[in-house]
């Protein structure tokens, strides 16, 4: 049976072994959090890839995510590390954030891309804006559409992604991917097929994740419509300028003091 990606235990397990190993953004967000000198919110915290390093650094941080599977993984990690944090389940576009609570809100690793349209994007930004202290900072990163493989003509082709081997169960899982896309609405669906074989036999499971890409000038306008000022963008976490070749857009915007 197919399920929406982040709600699916199979997807979440693969995410832990692949996407959740990303490290390039953690020093960047950690530095911003240390400079905030107040409570930090990780919006779309998942299983704690960024939140846990913040807590380990002694930063007062909280987080929410809409996936109970990911939050369950996060709870287990926090308990194993002896860490505590306020975490809760909610959607980015619906979350009720206490007004003027946070000095910094992070929305990392394409979390914003899972909002399907302008209405949900603006709703999410306005909710985060409301939850920030005057003079607070919003920091987020999303894929740069100019260097996005889903826009290529071959995006819908079924393509090999990875092979994983699990020693204790003596099973091997081969993962294939393909995309659906709508260039007019700037939306797509990321499909994965997991073919598992081992002593217990063979099985196939598929997941899908919906997303929407946003262009730089469009993103700037959305931030302004939500009340943010001083919006600026880079092409990586080292401060390099955004170009057509940049893999991502790294945004920072302010709530007026």
pLDDT tens-digit map of 159-199: 999 998 888 888 999 999 999 999 999 999 999 999 999 98
What pTM does this model have?
A: 0.94
Q: What is the pLDDT of residue 17?
A: 83
Q: What is the pLDDT of residue 1?
A: 33
Kindly compute the dihedral angle of the four CA atoms of residues 111, 115, 120, 121, in this order, to the nearest 10 degrees.
Answer: 50
pLDDT tens-digit map of 237-257: 999 999 999 999 999 999 999
pLDDT tens-digit map of 42-60: 999 999 999 999 999 999 9
141 vs 197: CA distance, rounded Å: 36
Q: Which of 3-7, 20-24, 84-88, 145-149 has the lowest mean pLDDT?
A: 3-7
CATH number, domain 3-145+215-254: 3.40.50.150
Domain 149-211 annotated CATH 1.10.10:
no
Q: What is the pLDDT of residue 22?
A: 85
Q: What is the mean pLDDT of residues 84-109?
A: 97
Domain segments of the chain as ranges = 3-145+215-254, 149-211
Q: Is it the case that residue 233 has pLDDT exceeding 90?
A: yes
Q: Percentages helix, strand, coil for the chain, rounded to the nearest 5?
A: 30, 35, 35
4 vs 208: CA distance, rounded Å: 5
Q: What is the mean pLDDT of residues 75-102?
A: 97
pLDDT category at 31 given cuts 50, 70, 90 is very high
Q: What is the pLDDT of residue 150?
A: 87
Q: What is the mean pLDDT of the chain?
A: 94
138 vs 69: CA distance, rounded Å: 26
Q: What is the pLDDT of residue 199?
A: 86
13 vs 117: CA distance, rounded Å: 28
Nearest to 44, CA basis, from 29, 66, 27: 66
DSSP-assigned beta bridge partners for residue 49? none
Q: What is the pLDDT of residue 2?
A: 39
Q: Which residue has the tokens 């079924």?
A: 158
pLDDT tens-digit map of 118-152: 999 999 999 999 999 999 999 999 999 998 888 88
Q: Which residues, 6 or more positions from 171, have their beta carbon under 8 angstroms from its beta carbon?
A: 165, 196, 197, 198, 199, 200
């Amino acid at each position: 049976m197919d399920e929406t990606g982040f709600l699916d235990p199979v997807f979440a397990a693969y995410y832990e072994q692949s996407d959740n190993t990303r490290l390039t953004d953690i020093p960047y967000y950690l530095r911003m959090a240390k400079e905030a000198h107040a409570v930090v919110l990780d919006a779309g915290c998942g299983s704690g890839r960024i939140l846990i390093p913040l807590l380990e650094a002694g930063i007062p941080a909280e987080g929410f995510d809409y996936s109970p599977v990911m939050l369950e993984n996060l709870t287990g990690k926090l308990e194993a590390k002896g860490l505590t944090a306020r975490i809760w389940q909610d959607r980015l576009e619906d979350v009720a954030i206490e007004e003027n609570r946070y000095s910094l809100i992070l929305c990392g690793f394409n979390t914003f891309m899972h909002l399907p349209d302008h209405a949900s994007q603006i709703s999410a930004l306005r909710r985060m804006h409301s939850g920030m202290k005057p003079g607070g900072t919003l920091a987020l990163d999303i894929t740069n559409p100019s260097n996005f493989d889903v826009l290529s003509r071959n995006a819908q082709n079924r393509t090999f992604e990875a092979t994983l081997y699990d020693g204790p169960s003596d099973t091997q899982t081969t993962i294939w991917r393909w995309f659906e896309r709508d260039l007019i609405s700037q939306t797509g669906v990321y499909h994965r097929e997991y073919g598992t074989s081992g002593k217990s036999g063979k099985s196939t499971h598929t997941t899908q994740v919906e997303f929407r890409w946003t262009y730089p000038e469009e993103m700037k306008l959305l931030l302004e419509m939500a009340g943010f000022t001083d919006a600026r963008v880079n092409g990586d976490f080292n401060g390099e300028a955004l170009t057509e070749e940049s893999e991502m857009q790294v945004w920072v915007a302010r709530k007026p003091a």
